[in-house]
Structure 1
Amino acid sequence: MDEPQTGDAVPPPAPGAEDYLALDFVNSAVAVPGGQYIDLLGTPATANQWLTKHGLAPSDAGVQETCATQLRSLREHLRALFAARVQGLPALPAALAAVNDALGRAPAAALLHWDEKNGPYRATPCPTHEILDRALATLAANAADLLTGTDAERLTACGSPPCNRYLLRHGRRQWCSVRCGDRARAARAYARRTHPTPS
């Protein structure tokens, strides 16, 4: 699919996405009922829109397919790490390497510059070719903070198939949206009607 669907097709941000940009990032590809798949990074234009919406790139950044591919690749590596964390499995070495590579792409501190008129000053460089590196580093750092912080215990996968999104659990809630919760409850009710428990 070239362009993401809008409106009701795209679920609202999952619980925790307001605190962790990386959670919204891994959820930028979502399976929805009916065998549909929405990828908000599916094209360079939609990837640029997603980056702009999240303050990671200007609207005229001119994201190319190679950039969108790098974003999608990091997303899949982060999804693998989230899945490993949720399932209590060892992390895939390739996923760890990809995240560490992204973390090292951009300087963490503003660099020292010298202006002949005004003297020394510090600034974070961000020419066009570095926008993607900064975005990847920001997303990787945010994911690392989530995976190593106190909220990691709350990280879970949505419990309403076919949804493939992650969320931070609040209480017993296991769904990323009201729609997924309604679908899960309806499936349970249907199963009770069609397969009653023996008395």
Structure 2
Amino acid sequence: MLAAPLPPAPGADSYVALDFANSVIALPGGQYVDLLGSPASVNAWLSAHTLAPEDADVQELCATQLRALREHIRSLFAARATDVPALPAAVDAVNSALTLVPTTALLRWDDKTGPYRQAPCPTNEILDHALATLAANAADLLTAPEADLLTTCTATPCNRYLLRHGRTHWCSTRCGNRARAARSYARRTSPSAQ
């Protein structure tokens, strides 16, 4: 398990989709931590990112849908970061999530007071709202000028995405230290160093 939570990757302060994509973390030794691994953890993550109230009571079916969207977004980020074509299924999944929630207040009619506008997203549509918001944020990132900065952390085995800044290609100090230690070890143990 993770000793301490990793800080958000560079760029996550502007794009919640980066935090979403990075909610599954590869650790040394082939282990993974999934911050969306259970309905309770999904509820906590959504609440922490103001995408659902604390008492949303997310069920496993909803958690599964969220994890599926995460994998599609990770696929799109990988395609963008490595400059390869995106999987059509991933594009379709994001577009499908984008259409789950109307983007404007709906027209309602009360027999006593008449017409009024009401923002969509009643409590029973919390997941659709979260999916649409995350998909829209991922689409914003993929089409923004910053998309050219999207990359993967270069520290093995990390699988997190970040927006590159300067020469840094790590998602956190922890990964940077691990990468530097691995390079130092490789230099000390290489045949040419002896």
SS of structure 2 residue aligned to 1:156: strand
> 1:198: Cα distance to partner?
6.8
- Equivalent in the alignment of 1:84: 79
Query: Would you say how many aligned residue pairs link Structure 1 and Structure 2?
Result: 194
Rate the CA distance shift 1:126–1:7 in 2: closer, same or farther, 3 A.
Answer: farther
**Which residue matches 2:17?**
22
Counterpart of 1:44 in structure 2 is 39
Of 73, 92, 95, which aligns to 1:100? 95
Q: Which of residues 181, 186, 190 is equivalent to 1:191?
A: 186
Distance, in Å, in 1 between the alignment partners of 2:23 and 2:182 is 25
The answer as to 2:138 corresponding to 1:143 is yes
- In structure 2, what is the Cα distance between the partners aligned to 1:70 and 1:32? 24
- Counterpart of 1:157 in structure 2 is 152
Cα deviation for residue 196 of structure 1 reads: 5.4
Give 1:125's aligned residue.
120
Cα distance, 1:123 vs structure 2: 1.7
Given residue 61 of structure 1, which amino acid in structure 2 is its aligned partner? A
Deviation at 1:118, TM superposition (A): 4.2
Post-superposition offset of 1:121: 2.5
Q: 1:60 aligns with which of 55, 61, 65?
A: 55
Identity, in percent, stands at 67
Tell me the amino acid that sits aligned with residue 100 of structure 2: R
Structure 2 unaligned spans of 5+? none
Q: Distance in 2 between matches of 1:168 and 1:37?
A: 22
Task: Provide Cα deviations, 1:25-78, integer angstroms capped at 9, x if missing partner.
Answer: 000001122332111110001001000110111111110000000000000000
1:37 alignment partner, SS class: strand
Shift of 1:116: 4.2
Amino acid at match of 1:22: A
- Please state how far the C-alpha of 1:143 moved relative to its aligned partner: 0.3
The runs of 4+ residues in structure 1 deviating greater than 6 Å are none
Residue type matched to 2:178 in 1? R
The 1-side partners of 2:47 and 2:113 are apart by 32
Native 8 Å contact 2:152 2:160 kept in 1:
yes
Note the aligned Cα RMSD (angstroms): 1.6
Q: What is the distance in 2 between the residues matched to 1:93 and 1:140?
A: 15
Counterpart of 2:162? 167
Mapped to 2, the partners of 1:134 and 1:70 lie a distance apart of 12
Letter in 2 for 1:84: A
TM-score by length of 2: 0.95
Unaligned runs of at least 5 residues, structure 1: none
